[in-house]
Amino acid sequence: MSCPYFFPVEPRAGGSDPQSAMLPLGDLWTGMCHAVPGQALPPEEALIRPLCHLGYARGNCKRFPADDPGADAVRLTISSDDGRSLHLYYVLERDHHPFAHGPLEYSTAAGRLVQASVTETVGRQAEAYAASYLRRKERAASPVL
């Protein structure tokens, strides 16, 4: 359940291990905080895993807007993989309860979401999640030498 303001940029070196697979984005990602409008800032290093990646930063992160009426966590899952596209489902949560939800489609050929109906940040989280999934799938299919 990532913070809804965390914009993943790239997988972190060494962040693709079995423990990181349990993270909401499937790997540990570097990124930017979009909590302050018009100011994309890198998160503090100590906050990336516990707040940016694990969400529920409201009241715990100085950048999370106290008056934000929206979600405080993003949850993603893959519902199907037909080889050409991934069908994902997202749930935005507030105070550990569903706030909004819906389906998303990720084109494996294009490497991006198709007609996303979510914010740019949540859409980028879905793309990062799909990319992590595809990396693990590719590694699992590769023969071990």
pLDDT at 138: 87
Provide φ and ψ at 126, rounded to 5°: -65, -40
DSSP one-letter code for 57: -
Over residues 102-115, the pLDDT tens digits come to 999 999 999 999 98
pLDDT at 144: 66
Residue 96: both structure tokens together: 């550990």
Token pair 């109906």 is at which residue? 117
Taking the C-alpha atoms of residue 93 and residue 105, their distance in angstroms, rounded to an integer, is 20
